[in-house]
Structure 1
Amino acid sequence: MKRFQRPGQIVALIAMTIAILSAIHSFLTLEGALLTLFFHALGISALSVLVIWALARFLR
C-alpha cells in the first residue's frame, strides 16, 4: 500500500470511517440488535478496510 503524501489524507480517512460507522449505528434500532451484533462480528472491520481503501484510491 502506498504511503500517504499528506497528513490531511489520514485525517480524512479516519473522519469518513467514523462517520460511516456512526451512521450504521444510528440507523440500526433496538429492534435490530441481532443485526448490530452481526455487523460487529462481520461487517465493521471489513467495512473500515473497504472505506479506507476506496478513499485512498480517491485521494491519490
Structure 2
Amino acid sequence: MSAAGSRFEFAPAAEAVLRPLVDGRTLDLASLAETAGLALEDVVGLVQELVAGQAATVGSLL
C-alpha cells in the first residue's frame, strides 16, 4: 500500500483490516478486529503503523 508518500507492506491477513479503511469506512478498532478475525492487539499495532506513517488518522466516534 502507498499512502502519504510512504510505501507499506503488510501480511495478507491485514487486507481484512485495510479494505474497510481504504474504502473510507469509519470503524472502531474492536469492530475491525472482529471483522478481520484478528486479535485486537494485532489490529492496534497495524493502525499504529498507519498513524505513525501519517497514512491514517484516529478520531472519536463519540
**TM-score, normalization by structure 2:** 0.30
Greater C-alpha radius of gyration: 1
Q: Which has the higher strand share?
A: 2
More helix by share: 1
Larger RCO (alpha carbons 8 Å, 6+ apart): 1
